[in-house]
Amino acid sequence: MWWLVRFAYWTGLLLSLSLSACAGDEVDTDLGPKFDDKADLSECAGYDGGHLSGDDLLVLINKGEGQQLAKRWAPRDLVSVDDHLMIPGREATLRLGVLQAYEKLASKAELEMGLDLRIRSAYRSFATQCRTFAYWVDTKGLEHAQRFSAEPGRSQHQLGTTIDITSEALGYENSSGDIEATEYTWLAENAHRFGFALAYPKGEDDTTGYGFEPWHYRFIGHEAALEMHDAGLILETYLLACQNAPTDLQCPQEELAEVIPNDRFIGGMCEAQEDCRTVSSDAVCLDEEDGYPGGQCALPCEASCPDRAGANAVTFCVVHPTDEFVGLCHSRCDDERFPGSGCRDGYSCVEASRPSGSTGMVCLPR
């Protein structure tokens, strides 16, 4: 089994390196899988987060005081985006109802205009935002980072309702220089039909606080998007108006589809490799022969682990007992999901070490 772990680890590492070699346009704020897989809550020590919840589809998130998502808020209905909807080599998650709406949008774009729209970036955890913002500060400076990226808790991507859209014709990149592209033109004219709104329009920097991003769309619900469009408002002013409880807008709230519970997450039960594919294509199933009662989905790691969709979303890279340079992602203890023990039957909450030497409380076989 461990040879599968090592193979999966090196396969993922080579993929990450190849992606980093073709970095996106300077205004593309997404770092891709290479950095997502290294994001960890310890990177966010300097950020407290806010108090807002993203459960409200019309919540206003921006640079203003009090308009920041809570550090530990994350959608509970995230699902993996199918490969045919993503740009090559990328993985992402979205809230189920949002993914369903985007599938209809992409299908209609192909039917009406022959466009093959792809998602470049979707949900980003608070931890990934920390790493992303720090990266752009280091490489482009604070002024650039504040214009084209968002401080942790202030990114619409944390909502799980926001996507960056591109296509093969655009080189699978995001660039404001492609404003005349057919893809962006069609989206600007039609996205509201599917519940999406352009977040950062051209010439609205002073209002939104960010530069023009013709690829960045947020789902706010079909009726709300239509109301916003008919009122001639941009997303920022519409959400602000809804927050202030106006009398001339309905600000309808849409109920998203519920996700059927799924144990196939890091730390979840499995009987075979296929049971862990919703975690990642590199995920492994640690079975009874490996000493894991009921089986457990894990992911090879070098230093830290990505936050994942669903239960036990906060993970930890546990050092391989016989190889100090390779680890496996395990779920941290969760007293809310497993009252008392913090772990499911057959597992105990114990202190474990990363390959780097730091420690954390995780669920391991008794």
For residue range 135-186, list pLDDT tens digits in order: 888 888 888 887 778 888 999 999 999 999 999 999 999 877 777 899 999 9
What is the DSSP annotation of 52-81?
B-TTSTT---SSSTT--BBTT---S-EEEP
Neighbours of 59 (CB within 10 A): 18
Q: What pTM, to 2 d.p., does this model score? A: 0.66
Spacing of C-alpha 48 from chain mean position: 19
Structure confidence at residue 340 (pLDDT): 83
pLDDT at 23 over 70: no
CA distances from 338 to 36, 41, 348, 356 (A): 27, 21, 11, 28
1-15, 112-126, 291-305, range with the lowest pLDDT: 1-15
Structure confidence at residue 306 (pLDDT): 65
pLDDT at 233 over 80: yes
Structure confidence at residue 43 (pLDDT): 62
How far is Cα 212 from Cα 203, in angstroms, rounded to an integer?
7
Structure confidence at residue 82 (pLDDT): 85
pLDDT averaged over the chain?
Answer: 82
Structure confidence at residue 310 (pLDDT): 46
DSSP 42: G
For the chain, what percent of residues have pLDDT higher than 70? 82
pLDDT at 134 over 50: yes
Structure confidence at residue 35 (pLDDT): 44
Structure confidence at residue 325 (pLDDT): 59
Residue spans per domain, the chain: 26-243, 273-365
Q: pLDDT tens across 304-336, in order?
A: 776 554 444 578 888 876 665 578 888 888 877
Structure confidence at residue 290 (pLDDT): 86
Beta strands in the chain (DSSP E): 78-80, 93-95, 117-121, 162-167, 196-200, 213-219, 284-286, 296-298, 300-301, 315-320, 323-331, 347-353, 359-365
Are the beta carbons of 298 and 283 closer than 8 angstroms? yes
Structure confidence at residue 107 (pLDDT): 95
Q: pLDDT tens across 70-124, in order?
A: 988 889 888 888 889 999 999 999 998 999 999 999 999 999 999 999 999 999 9
For the chain, what percent of residues have pLDDT higher than 90? 40
Are the beta carbons of 15 and 121 closer than 8 angstroms? no
Q: Tell whether domain 26-243 is in CATH 1.20.140.10.
A: no
Q: pLDDT tens across 260-296, in order?
A: 555 557 888 888 887 787 677 788 888 888 889 988 8
Confidence of residue 4 (pLDDT cuts 50, 70, 90): very low
**Which element (helix H / strand E) includes 2?**
helix 2-20
Structure confidence at residue 20 (pLDDT): 32
